[in-house]
Amino acid sequence: MEGSYNSKKVLPQRPGFRHHRKENYVCRDALSRQSTECSEVQEVSQSQLQQPRVKLNGSTVETPSHHDLHRELLVSTKRGLLPGEKPELKRVLEQRRLEQHREQELALQPPLELETELRKRQQILLEYEQEEIRRREEQEREVPEFVRVKDNLRRTQVSGQ
């Protein structure tokens, strides 16, 4: 049996398909068979079982306990049993809540004297600008049409030269 155990099967490979060999994976049954069947094989210590083996391509092979934990994590995530603790999300939501609370408090407080004075001045400026626009429009209406056409012709001649 020793000769057949060490021999590796050569699988025909087709392009586009990956053929995995069982020798690359850590399996509890394979380790127990090795220790019982082969008297020459060294005993595997507990620390060697916990350390992940390295495959030929550089990726690590996970220990069975790590594999079980990962499977448990996937199942519990799928079922929604994990607590939804996301500290970044909580922090952002808390900041939004505080900002909204501040805005509400500012809206409830009466405006300061400076704010009211600034608003009055802004209204006065807007009214003045609107009156000025109305005056210009009225002045343009009072001017006869031939004068306006003449002014437009002068502008086009000056811009054309």
pLDDT band, residue 98 (cuts 50/70/90): very high
SS3 144: coil
Q: Which residues contact 19 (CB under 8 A, 6 or more apart)?
A: 11, 13
Bridge partners, 60 (sequence order): 54
Question: What is the per-residue pLDDT for 94?
Answer: 93
Residue scoring higher pLDDT (66 or 27): 66
pLDDT digits (tens, 9 = 90+) for 35-81: 454 444 445 455 555 555 555 555 566 677 888 888 888 887 777 76
Question: What is the per-residue pLDDT for 103?
Answer: 93
pLDDT at 131 over 90: yes
Measured distance CA(121)–CA(9) in Å, rounded: 92
Distances in whole angstroms, Cα of residue 105 to Cα of each of 91, 93, 109, 114, 118: 21, 18, 6, 18, 21
pLDDT digits (tens, 9 = 90+) for 82-97: 666 677 888 889 999 9
pLDDT digits (tens, 9 = 90+) for 135-160: 999 988 888 888 878 888 877 766 65
Bridge partners, 62 (sequence order): none
Q: CB-hemisphere CA count at 13 Å for 22? A: 9
Output the CA angle 14-17-23, nearest 5 degrees: 100
